[in-house]
Structure 1
Amino acid sequence: MEHKVNSEKSSSELISELEYPKSPNAIKYLNELTLKQKQDFFDSFDLILCDCDGVIWQTLHELLPGSPEAIDYLKRQGKEVIYVTNNSIIPIGMQLKKFERFGIEVKKHEIVHPAQTICDYLKSIQFDGLIFCLTSEAFKSLLREAGFDVVEELVGYVETLDDLRAVINSDDPVKAVIIDVDFNLTASKLMRAHGYLKNNSECLFIGGAADTLITIGGKDVIGPGPYISVLENTTKRKALILGKPGVALRDFIMEQHKIKNARRCLFIGDSIVTDIRFAKVCGFQTLLVLTGTTTPEDLQSKLTETDTPDYVCERLADLNGFLS
């Protein structure tokens, strides 16, 4: 996610000036902790689940200073780091190259990526059938590489009812509809997906990233979440969400990484809704960084307990040499 820059004052300066409302789960600011409190915090988790966009780098491939050093420090202190991204536009192979370019050593199984998670889920249930995707081409390519059959979409300009019928009516025996970020989403695609889901109660309904908004070029645009809601409302069905902030992703992460105690996990993210709300519902500890979508001013609003981070710091780099 893009960083909202305040040209006059740094985030840390704003933090010191603002008075935040008390909540059932009061926020702790890492820069205000005593050495004993820092040690207690550091001893309270073994595994770090870390968002990428807005935490390690900006969406447009700009590294946030000090992030690689902080990750290296955490690993040297015996912490395991897993990267949880909602960015399915960038294939995992490119994600790995991006980490390598920034000097961060990451293995494929250490990245939780919506397309890969959904592939793994489909394999786990031995899914065999056609899939209709409202996703990026990179997402579809990963599904095909995993051996799944993806419906080739009918591309055409819809002007008349006959055009619409030709596009949305299909005899394809589709057994799953998957929705994620699709920059070429159209009303006719949604109508076709609605038909598959409405006419076949056994057709799987799966969502990847479910962000309400995503940030592109410094501007908020509609994410896949509202479109998932449209299909849920019209079909009267609930999607299985295997990206943030879907709770089903928790079970996948817990099983995949053999996590026995959710409270021994620290989730680091930049978004109150996508990261903090997801992590709190899952039972993880939460650390909000202010290098992405959330600003110090946002924390002045009346946050629910689920939206209130346990800890806040200005940037991931603040964790480098944390106990020294």
Structure 2
Amino acid sequence: MEHKVNSEKSSSELISKLEHPKNPIAIKYLNELTLKQRQDFFDSFDLILCDCDDVIWQTHHGLLPGSPEAIDYLKRQGKEVIYVTNNSLSPIDMLLKKFERFGIEVKKHEIVFPAQTICDYLKSIQFDGLIFCLTSEAFKSLLREAGFNLVDELVGYAENFQDFHPLINSDDPVKAVIIDTDLNLTVSKLIRAHGYLRKNPECLFIGGAGDTLNTVGGKDIIGPGTFMSILENTTQRKALVLGKPGVGLRDFIMDKHKIKNARRCLFIGDSIVSDIRFAKVCGFQSLLVLTGTTTPEDLKSKLTETDTPDYVSECLGDLNGFLS
């Protein structure tokens, strides 16, 4: 989250860094566009889907300079902005207060996050049954408030298999397993989830955030997508992923926001895996900002055709006064 771009480097130097030996097409760097190219870019989209962490703010450093001004400018130019985050660790009310504290006006329905998309999905299929969650407490609270029933977790410490057995076995008639970010995830929880999915082929398998790696405090940590993959591999089942970069989330967004032409949407994010790949899956245009997990060096060494963003900018603030 703390990667910074060297402001002394020219834009042309950054463009050079963004060329990949297997993909000779240089990414368009916003600050290098002519006024005509800027106008064409700006006229090419109506709806903006914007990530939050490391795009608008950073966890350990607060608001990224220029972000509120850029969002306000985009709205004044007639662009619709919605926010797409993989973060379901905090209640939605806390997230709304965070936006308010940073001077960004946003309504609840304009925020897309795994806990809410999964809750909405369960409502849409009229789900009725027990749910086993590998998620945050805020995620579980949202489901309970919506009227869904969750399995109570057994808490315990095991030194041997005799103690371990009651932690991983359950006769509860679970009909859905949901996995997202769970900061208190344990081996026993994973094994129990595996058991529910193997025991009942009709048990729903739903995933939230699909990140395999997250960056916290400048350090990479294993993301929920890694644990989701463990369950997929051991159960030989694929999760319906309703967080980035899942196809399920694409369908949800396209339907909820009545999107007719995906190319008229611009997705702004900081992650090649979670954001740019998701934009590609959806058919959206993509803008990668270099205020988070991706650096110019990362792009040079890791970029593939399916990961190539349409545009790159140093920060979201670059869009403030973009046509001036």
TM-score with structure 1 length normalisation? 0.96
Match of 1:18 in 2: 17
Cα distance in 2, alignment partners of residues 13 and 250 from structure 1: 34
C-alpha change, 1:49 and 1:199, in structure 2 (3 Å) is same
- TM-superposed deviation, 1:10: 5.7
Cα distance in 2, alignment partners of residues 19 and 306 from structure 1: 14
Match of 2:206 in 1: 206
Match of 1:186 in 2: 186
Alpha-carbon RMSD across the aligned residues, in angstroms, is 1.7
Question: Percent identity between the aligned chains?
Answer: 79
1:14–1:296 contact (8 Å) kept in structure 2? no
- TM-superposed deviation, 1:219: 1.1
- TM-superposed deviation, 1:59: 1.9
* Greater alpha carbon shift after TM alignment, 181-190 vs 158-167: 158-167
CA offsets, 1:250-283, max 9 Å, x none? 0000101111111100000000111001111110
- TM-superposed deviation, 1:147: 0.8
- TM-superposed deviation, 1:11: 8.1
- TM-superposed deviation, 1:26: 4.2
Q: Indicate yes or no: 2:14 matched with 1:5.
A: no
Cα distance in 1, alignment partners of residues 160 and 11 from structure 2: 57
C-alpha change, 1:110 and 1:164, in structure 2 (3 Å) is same
Match of 1:122 in 2: 122
After the TM superposition, which residues 1-324 of structure 1 pair with which residues of structure 2 at under 5 Å, given as runs?
2-5=1-4, 9=8, 12=11, 15=14, 18=17, 20-21=19-20, 23=23, 26-60=26-60, 62-301=62-301, 303-324=303-324
Cα distance in 2, alignment partners of residues 95 and 19 from structure 1: 34
Question: Runs of 4 or more off by more than 6 Å in structure 1?
Answer: none
Cα distance in 1, alignment partners of residues 276 and 10 from structure 2: 19
* Greater alpha carbon shift after TM alignment, 98-107 vs 214-223: 214-223
Cα distance in 2, alignment partners of residues 304 and 256 from structure 1: 31
Cα distance in 2, alignment partners of residues 159 and 137 from structure 1: 27
1:74–1:320 contact (8 Å) kept in structure 2? yes
Cα distance in 2, alignment partners of residues 262 and 26 from structure 1: 23
- TM-superposed deviation, 1:9: 4.5
Cα distance in 2, alignment partners of residues 299 and 185 from structure 1: 32
- AA aligned to 1:223 is G
C-alpha change, 1:116 and 1:101, in structure 2 (3 Å) is same
- AA aligned to 2:39 is Q
**5+ residue gaps in structure 1?**
none
- AA aligned to 1:162 is Q
TM-score with structure 2 length normalisation? 0.96
- TM-superposed deviation, 1:3: 2.5
2:56–2:316 contact (8 Å) kept in structure 1? yes
- AA aligned to 2:133 is C
- TM-superposed deviation, 1:218: 1.9
Cα distance in 1, alignment partners of residues 120 and 254 from structure 2: 14
C-alpha change, 1:123 and 1:61, in structure 2 (3 Å) is farther
1:11–1:314 contact (8 Å) kept in structure 2? no
C-alpha change, 1:192 and 1:291, in structure 2 (3 Å) is same
Cα distance in 2, alignment partners of residues 39 and 258 from structure 1: 25
2:50–2:84 contact (8 Å) kept in structure 1? yes
Cα distance in 1, alignment partners of residues 10 and 307 from structure 2: 20
- AA aligned to 2:129 is G
Cα distance in 2, alignment partners of residues 317 and 6 from structure 1: 14
- TM-superposed deviation, 1:217: 2.0
Cα distance in 1, alignment partners of residues 301 and 320 from structure 2: 30
- TM-superposed deviation, 1:322: 0.4
1:174–1:196 contact (8 Å) kept in structure 2? yes
- TM-superposed deviation, 1:60: 2.9
- TM-superposed deviation, 1:91: 1.7
CA offsets, 1:132-163, max 9 Å, x none? 00111111111111111111100000112121
- TM-superposed deviation, 1:5: 2.8
